[in-house]
Chains A and B, each alone.
Chain A
Amino acid sequence: MHPSHMIPELLKLLAASLLLISFAMLSRRRTQRLITLFAWQGSVLFVSTLLVAYSAGLTELYYSATLTLLLKVIALPWILHRLTRRLGAQWDSETLVNIPITMLVGLGLVIFAFGLAQPISRMATTITRNTIGIALAVIFLAFLMMITRRKAITQVIGFLAMENGLFFAATSATYGMPMVIELGIALDLLVGFFILGIFFFQIREQFDSLDLSHLESLKEE
């Protein structure tokens, strides 16, 4: 097969693995494993961005691929690992999550996402047009993870996974946003991440744990 035909196929494969990793994240309880999966998701994103950059011949996308590699495959997972180790939380596990039911809800969300993305996919001309549905599904699954988990770090990983989905949507639908905007988004993400790091320590100092079930006193009586 000619290599130019292979690229769309490869991209579909990568998109599918992205979705698969999202499901794997939903099924994991241990923080350590989740961070590894998040790093994997980042690498898939990196490779797919490279492929799109190559096939569309856009230099801008090479930059954002590099940015993905540096930020999401190397820096964030490394910081997360260090953070969890310093907080002694690497083997923390979520016990109160009903995995099978979460998976079923996740399936429903994927179908919903594909239905929603239908009109957009039809008018997309980019080579990755079938992948918008998947990007949306990844966003929804990350959202589901944030809702169902109670640990602070897990919620943050869900938040970052959601950003991965958004990034994938941007590359697959539009060949990426203009560079200025992408840099701005990356900066916001990084700053937000540091603030979260500060938060972890503040929360643990106050509550002696990173379990967010302590954070439920502010309610309407």
Chain B
Amino acid sequence: MDLLIVLGLPLLGALLLALFGARTYAAELNAGMSFATLVAVAFLVLRVLRHGSLLALHEQFFVDSFNVFLVALTAFVGFTTALFSRPYMRIEEQRGRLSQQRLRLYHSMYQLFMAAMFLALLTNNMGLLWVAMEAATLSTVLLVSLYRTRASLEAAWKYFILCGVGIAQALFGTILLYFAAEHVLGRQGMTALLWTHLNAVKGQLEPRVLGLAFVFLLVGYGTKVGLAPLHNWLPDAHAEGPTPVSAVLSGLLLNVALYAVIRCKVLVEGSIGSYLPGRMLMTFGLLSAVLGAFFLWRQRDIKRLFGYSSIEHMGIITFAFGIGGPIANFAALLHMTVHSLTKSSIFFTAGHASQTAHTQQMDGIRGLVGISPTIGWGLMLGSLAILGMPPFGVFASEFLILTTAMREHPWTTPFLLIALGVAFAAIFRKVQPMVFGESDAPPLPHSPALVPVFIHLAIVLMLGVYMPFALADWYRAAARLIGG
């Protein structure tokens, strides 16, 4: 029941906002629906904490320690982004970049996107997972092109075609998975695509077919994670779409896509009985981390810069999942959480920073601290956090990943260190003059909602200094589940 409410609320929100999205109170309605979803998710989480994992609706949906924390994270960031978007979109409208009708589209699609992500996270059916991932892409395509400028149309087209092709590969992988499962589980009762059933019989699934399936699934969902060399859509979509969309794409969608990859990896690894899937994840992850870091140097647009930073971090997380084992998985899950929180808060401040300066070009953004101390310090602290400065949580997870890599695969350490070092130098060098320095730009017409930024950063800080016992247990259980 809780499950249905979690799925139903954003859908209801999408419907309501499709009807009333052009009214003046639409932004409040959007935030309100997101808050209601967050409350529903909180109840679901409490239930899982108390009674353990649960299956619902003919086993089509399930919640275990792996997905429940992602559901909570998604609901939380979804809510804070809705809060941030209220003044942000109002300023955009005032400046004539958006009309009431576009705002209606935006609000409605925002809720639909949340619904698609919850469906992807909660479903037990690998086919439904695919459908939900595709739905998440489709609902954000028109958001990326919301401004209807040439650049945004190009970005949206690229996003649509690349992710469409990618997701088609994932469908082929899903078909192969079904093909192998059908031999073991049979067609009756439709259990052959249910993850829990597949997981129970994974040792009997034909390894050669699953190996091939994994290649397709990894390429397919990996495109959406933004893994190099399939990452081309990501920086464009992040730079050209409205900032709240960049924040949820980076903070949530990438996580959900990676979640799909990991679910598949668990099955395939159990079937093949070798380290091959893990090795593939490590290779893709390492490549993304290094390439992403080097591309950071050449960026001029602030949102593109942090788009590439997302590629780098998703690479690090994928790499950690590739190593496998309780510690690396734990670190990867932690990094997923802190990256999502930090990156969305950075996009919040970056969005307002470019509104203040009337440009997304970093050369044009100067002296943020002078104009608005909250934006300036928010951006500075967010950047320091994402660069892995202690005591923030990113430091803890990166440290864990680095030490595990050193112990188990020493040859990867130099690559990781290079990626981290290059990223540090590139981002710090660019953020520093934006935050400090001189500027005479006037402050924003609506006061920005930057409370979410500091809440996010406070949580990230807390995770770095002290991890609540329940949360650590939770991560540990999820890490055990992923195994490897």
A→B interface (CB under 8 Å)? 116, 119-120, 123-125, 136, 139, 143, 146, 152, 155, 159, 162-163, 166, 169-170, 173-175, 177-178, 180-181, 184-185, 187-188, 191-192, 195-196, 198-199, 202-203, 205-207, 212, 214-218, 220-221
Contacts and interface: CB of A to CB of B under 8 A. Distances in A.
A157 B240 CA distance: 26
29 contacts: A119-B208, A120-B176, A123-B183, A123-B209, A146-B161, A159-B161, A166-B172, A170-B175, A173-B176, A174-B175, A174-B179, A177-B175, A177-B193, A181-B125, A181-B127, A181-B131, A184-B130, A185-B131, A185-B134, A192-B160, A192-B164, A195-B142, A196-B160, A199-B156, A203-B157, A206-B149, A206-B153, A218-B236, A221-B298
B39 interface: no
B161 A155 contact: yes
A199 B145 CA distance: 9
Contact of B142 (A119, A120, A180, A198): A198
B150 A206 contact: yes
Contact of A202 (B153, B168, B240): B153
A184 B164 contact: no
B155 interface: yes
Interface string B429-449: 000000000000000000000
Contacts of B165: 143, 146, 159, 162
A196 B161 CA distance: 10
A180 B172 contact: no
B141 interface: yes
B150 A175 contact: no
Contacts of A178: 127, 190, 192-193
A184 B131 contact: yes
Given A177-B178, A178-B193, A206-B150, 10 more contacts: A120-B179, A124-B179, A159-B165, A170-B178, A177-B127, A180-B127, A184-B130, A192-B134, A199-B157, A217-B154
Contacts of B150: 206-207, 214, 217
B102 interface: no
Contacts of A192: 134, 138, 160, 164
B212 interface: yes
Contacts of B131: 181, 184-185, 187-188
A191 B164 CA distance: 12
B72 interface: no
A118 B4 CA distance: 43
Interface in B150-195: 150-151, 153-158, 160-161, 164-165, 168, 171-172, 174-176, 178-179, 182-183, 187, 190, 192-193
A116 B212 contact: yes
B172 A169 contact: yes
A162 B160 CA distance: 15
Interface residues of B, number: 47
Nearest to B157: A215
A218 B158 contact: yes
B127 A120 contact: no
Contacts of B130: 181, 184-185
| Interface class of chain A by DSSP | helix
B209 A119 contact: yes
A119 B154 CA distance: 40
Nearest to B133: A188
A203 B151 CA distance: 11
A172 to B, nearest CB: 10
B154 to A, nearest CB: 4
Contact of A199 (B134, B160, B190): B160
Contacts of B230: none
B20 to A, nearest CB: 22
Interface of B: 125, 127-128, 130-131, 134-135, 138, 141-142, 145, 148-151, 153-158, 160-161, 164-165, 168, 171-172, 174-176, 178-179, 182-183, 187, 190, 192-193, 206, 208-209, 212, 236, 240, 295, 298
A212 B128 CA distance: 33
Contacts of A136: 172
A212 B174 CA distance: 31
A199 to B, nearest CB: 6
Given A123-B183, A139-B168, A195-B160, A203 B209 contact: no
Contacts of A212: 157
Contacts of A195: 138, 141-142, 160
Given A152-B157, A192-B164, A220-B298, A123 B206 contact: yes
A164 B192 CA distance: 23
B134 A215 contact: no
A196 B149 CA distance: 17
A140 to B, nearest CB: 11
A214 B190 CA distance: 47
A112 B114 CA distance: 39
Contacts of B209: 119-120, 123
Contact of B175 (A166, A203, A214): A166
B381 to A, nearest CB: 29
Nearest to A191: B138
Nearest to B206: A123
Nearest to A169: B175
A202 B172 CA distance: 31
Nearest to A192: B138
B156 A218 contact: no
